[in-house]
Amino acid sequence: DAMVIQNPRYQVTQFGKPVTLSCSQTLNHNVMYWYQQKSSQAPKLLFHYYDKDFNNEADTPDNFQSRRPNTSFCFLDIRSPGLGDAAMYLCATSREWAGGKNQPQHFGDGTRLSIL
Amino acid sequence: AQKVTQAQTEISVVEKEDVTLDCVYETRDTTYYLFWYKQPPSGELVFLIRRNSFDEQNEISGRYSWNFQKSTSSFNFTITASQVVDSAVYFCALSDPDSNYQLIWGAGTKLIIKP
């Protein structure tokens, strides 16, 4: 049974046209993450939520925003996608963040975003 | 600064061979965690193992085994009797207080198992 669900699996958008990717979880985990992964590279953390607290990575472009309306859902909004934003976007969850309780992250299947 | 090095970019073996994926890490902290994830061609990242720095026991799970050596800062992963379904990219990752427990990822090793 899928526990971290990402929709859609594939997304095509036009250059500059806003796009939203969604993630839901059935694990009731406190932490949700968004990663960007380009071909043949490791995932790159964009931001994470600890409950409702939003944490943005310093080098995440302003073009990327996120919303977490409740525990189960988290959205990634790309306001004006450029060609360089074509990538796989991975959502992950973990029960806790820091404090010596480092829990493994559970990943969804990802959304592969293409920009025309 | 923290760093994870997976020196093997790509490994290709014939089915049923044993294969070892290397992972070397750098950290100043005495408390840290090491992870291995598998990413098959379908794209999802699958958690394989988490090991904390105080537990140096090697671990075996079926055909998978992990060798944690603090003396050489290595956390190597061995697949015994490899199968075609093991073909994937494998990532080693580190988290520690200095990184605020974010995952510091290695570059990944692409493993190809030929039938």
Judging contacts by C-beta atoms under 8 Å, the chain B residues touching residue A40 are 108
pLDDT tier at B17, thresholds 50, 70, 90: very high
Please tell me the distance from the alpha carbon of residue B38 to that of residue B27, in angstroms, as a whole number. 23
What is residue A104's predicted lDDT score, i.e. its pLDDT?
Answer: 82
Helices (H) and strands (E) in chain B, counts: 0, 12
Helix (H, G, I), strand (E, B) or coil at A76: strand
Q: Do A107 and B91 touch (CB under 8 A)?
A: no
Res A102 pLDDT > 70: no
Res A96 pLDDT > 80: no
B31, closest residue in chain A (CA to CA): A100
- Taking only the tens place, the pLDDT of each residue in B22-63 is 999 999 988 899 999 999 988 889 989 989 898 888 888 999
Judging contacts by C-beta atoms under 8 Å, the chain A residues touching residue B105 are 42-43
Comparison of pLDDT for B72 and A103, the residue scoring more: B72
What's the mean pLDDT in B6-31?
96
Please tell me the distance from the alpha carbon of residue B17 to that of residue B21, in angstroms, as a whole number. 13
Please tell me the distance from the alpha carbon of residue A77 to that of residue B27, in angstroms, as a whole number. 34
pLDDT tier at A100, thresholds 50, 70, 90: very low
Res A103 pLDDT > 90: no
With a pLDDT cut of 70, the percent of chain B lying above it is: 100
Helix (H, G, I), strand (E, B) or coil at A105: coil
Q: Do A105 and B97 touch (CB under 8 A)?
A: no
| A107: closest CA of chain B, how far (Å) | 6
What's the mean pLDDT in A80-101?
83
What is residue A99's predicted lDDT score, i.e. its pLDDT?
Answer: 42
Res A48 pLDDT > 60: yes
Please tell me the distance from the alpha carbon of residue B41 to that of residue B88, in angstroms, as a whole number. 6
- Match 């949700």 to its residue by tokens: A32
